[in-house]
Amino acid sequence: MIYGGAEVVRGHNENITMNASLSYDQDVGPGNYSGMNFTWHYGEIKGNDTVQLSSKRDWFTGVKESAVEYSKDKVYGLEVAFDTTLMSVNKTYVVKLVVTKDYRNSSVFQVIRLVKGDPPKILQR
């Protein structure tokens, strides 16, 4: 899980903190991250494609990955920060979190829309 929900609006020229602390291994329960690896991929929606969100249950978001141009850079860790100064206002970005442990893996997306100013922050679990 990515703290903040499936889609967020953030202001340009601020750091965005991505937090995966709500993620857990079902075999050991919440709060124990032993052996878990967190890899963050980020990219921009390209072309005329739009993000296609689907509400299958309240916790699942589908993203048309062919519309996302991912950066070659990856970031690792339970909590990471992205500097938005290199990103553009009024663009849509996607962050993909991949969590691995032994042979298992799972992934989730968060859609980020960058706007001018400092929009209010709404957090959901």
DSSP per-residue letters across 71-100: EEEEEESSEEEEEGGGS-TT-EEEEEEEEE
Q: How far apart are CA 40 and CA 37, in angstroms?
A: 10
Task: Look at residue 57 in the predicted model and tell me its pLDDT.
Answer: 39
Backbone angles phi and psi of 57, in degrees to 5: 65, 175
Is the domain spanning 7-115 CATH 2.60.40? The answer is: yes
In contact, 67 and 51? CB cutoff 8 Å: yes
> Could you give the percent of the chain with pLDDT greater than 70?
82
Cβ-proximal residues to 104 (8 Å cutoff; 6+ apart), any chain: none
Q: Which two tokens stand for residue 35?
A: 């052996």
Is pLDDT larger for residue 105 or for residue 14?
105
Beta strands 79-83; 7-11: pairing state: unpaired
Q: Is the pLDDT of residue 36 over 90?
A: yes
Average pLDDT over residues 30-54: 79
Average pLDDT over residues 21-38: 93
Condensed to tens digits (0 to 9), the pLDDT of residues 61-96 reads 557 777 888 888 899 999 999 888 888 888 888 999
Domain range annotation of the chain = 7-115
Q: Is the pLDDT of residue 3 over 90?
A: no
pTM: 0.80
Task: Look at residue 77 in the predicted model and tell me its pLDDT.
Answer: 96
Q: How far apart are CA 63 and CA 110, in angstroms?
A: 9
